[in-house]
Amino acid sequence: MIAVFPGSFDPMTIGHIALLKRAVKIFDKIIVAVGINTSKECGRNAAPPKDEKLESIRRAVADMPQVEVESYSCLTTDFCRIKGAHVILRGVRDNADFEYERKIADINRLIAPDIETVILLAEPEYATISSSMVRELAAFGHDVTKWLA
């Protein structure tokens, strides 16, 4: 079974990698789909991910042969259809994530009932790691290397 793991991965963290390491035991193939989150960036005018970003994500997942990395700029469910994927993989760290993920999953089910969202709960040691936290600490000059994938 093919799963699409969509996200902004801005940047990809060891939390994303930990989730992928568990997900490769469940799915035959996982496509990390690097997209633009229109609620976090400026809508459709946001710049597409740069090649270097895709390459660095590819390097981070190189030891997982079932994982591919691609960028996309359409609806996640349309991307799933193009790729023949029937699963959207997401992660949840806390209640705030849960509410957010449930809303996205509900919308995706409305527009694509044949595509199921599968959510993995973050392991406690990764539950505080988020791309936004890494970005914010980095912006203030803190060394964030240990959280980067």
Give the integer Cα–Cα distance in Å for 47 and 35.
10
Which residue is catalytic, options 21, 40, 59, 135?
Answer: 40
Retrieve residue 50's tokens: 């740069």
Q: Does 97 bind ligand ADP (CB under 6 A)?
A: yes
Q: Does 116 bind ligand ADP (CB under 6 A)?
A: no
Burial per residue of 71-99, b for 16 or more beta-carbon CB atoms within 10 angstroms, e otherwise? bbeeebbebbbebebbbbbbbbbeeebee
**Closest approach of ligand ADP to the CB of residue 82, in Å:** 18
Q: Does 130 bind ligand ADP (CB under 6 A)?
A: yes
Contact 119, 6 (CB under 8 A): no
Is there a catalytic annotation at residue 142?
no
Q: Does 37 bind ligand ADP (CB under 6 A)?
A: yes
Which residue is catalytic, options 53, 71, 90, 131?
Answer: 131
**C-alpha 44 chain-centroid distance:** 19
Return residues touching ligand ADP (CB under 6 A).
7-9, 13, 15-16, 19, 37, 40, 90-93, 97, 101, 122, 126, 129-131
